[in-house]
Amino acid sequence: MKGLCLILAIVACASALSTVDHEWEQYKAKFEKNYSPKEDARHHKIFKEQKKIIEEHNKKFEEGKVTYTMAINKFADMTVEDTAYLRGFKHRARDLRHEGASLYEPPVGVVPTLTTVDWRNKGYVTGVKDQSQCGACWAFSATGSLEGQHFAKTGDLVSLSEQNLLDCTAGNGCAGGWMTDAFDYIHRNGGIDTEASYPYHAYDLECSYNASNVGATCTGYVTVERTEDALQTAVSNIGPISVAIDASHYSFQVYNSGIYYEPECSSLTLDHAVLVVGYGVEGTAEFWLVKNSWGVSWGDSGYIKMSRHRNNNCGIASEASYPTV
């Protein structure tokens, strides 16, 4: 009898291992992953460990203990160190955000009257883009905000060239940069080319700006007071706003749906640039509606709902700005 139990246990264990191995092969095929034998073993180990974490987390969601779900996505077999290249918002040694810029402060006594804002419904937001293997989040955040402001002024929604910013903004590129530097470049340069005329390649190239292909211009930029109330007022009254966040957590990497809250998030050490395109409420939980640049397969079709008015979680109000047109 003991021998039979042992055999059954071995068979069950082998079956479980076979299932995980099969899932790993399916995962690699789905996301077109190709590794050397050594790297395959490392990523397979991460995949198995994180799959368990994701399943346990989602069980907590079903029990009402957390407010968002995770999913096995293209980053599920990677550590946060592996994906550091994606998070290209550079930390500055000193605060330069107000140099040469005006500061947006909510008018005294004026508060947003709308409980829900979604600028996608007003035509201000282009489709979700994918920065791929380049740390160009800062460029995607900047173009997103300018696309919205250009639409507000002209009524035309034009997809703008992130590659133009990568190649032509001094000191920035796939290694990282700042949205305010992008706005400053566009202002000094007299415009930014359209994405159609200057397509994205996900690596740095020689500057190929062509003034005849300008899709939008800006006259400068405004930084937003570092409070969630100020950010909410700006989003409500101005449009999509460029922000930086702390995205250095596996929970963000495999976010799927719901309202994201990460207790380990920093409000000061920020590493990723995104675009706030609105805000809202689900039940009693307030959230920011945020457009990422990791493609539509990430998150909620490329978007994430981030906790609002929970002590500036992940620093979403710490580095907000937008261009003037």
In a shared domain, residues 243 and 128 = yes
Which CATH number does the domain housing residue 259 bear? 3.90.70.10
Q: What is the mean pLDDT of residues 97-118?
A: 71
Q: How far apart are CA 99 and CA 137, in angstroms?
A: 22
Q: What is the mean pLDDT of residues 272-301?
A: 98
Q: What is the pLDDT of residue 11?
A: 43
How many distinct structural domains can be found in the chain? 2
Catalytic site includes residue 311: no
Annotated catalytic residue within 256, 272, 312, 313: 272
pLDDT tens column, 157-184: 999 999 999 999 987 899 999 999 999 9
Catalytic site includes residue 137: yes
pTM for this structure? 0.91
Go through the chain and tell me how many residues it has.
325
Question: Contact 321/223 with Cβ under 8 angstroms?
Answer: yes
Residue 309 gets the label, from left (phi > 0), alpha (psi -120 to 50) or beta, of left
Pairing of strands 303-307, 255-260: parallel
In a shared domain, residues 30 and 165 = no
Q: How far apart are CA 142 and CA 102, in angstroms?
A: 17
Q: Which residue has the tokens 């099969």?
A: 22
- pLDDT class for 9, splitting at 50, 70, 90? very low
111-140: buried (b, 16+ CB within 10 Å) or exposed (e) per residue? eeeeeebebbeeebbbebbbbeebbbbbbb
Angle at the Cα of 306 from the Cα atoms of 111 and 319, rounded to 5 degrees: 65
Question: Contact 288/308 with Cβ under 8 angstroms?
Answer: yes
In a shared domain, residues 35 and 103 = no
The helix/strand count (H/E) of the chain reads as 7, 12
Annotated catalytic residue within 73, 256, 292, 312: 292
pLDDT tens column, 239-248: 999 999 999 9
In a domain, 74, yes or no: no
Q: What is the mean pLDDT of residues 125-135?
A: 98
In a shared domain, residues 267 and 318 = yes
**Encoded amino acid at 27, one letter:** Y
In a domain, 77, yes or no: no
In a shared domain, residues 217 and 131 = yes
Annotated catalytic residue within 137, 168, 265, 314: 137
Residues of the domain holding 31: 2-66
- pLDDT class for 104, splitting at 50, 70, 90? confident
- Please name the residue ranges forming H helices in 71-221: 137-154, 162-168, 179-189
In a domain, 170, yes or no: yes
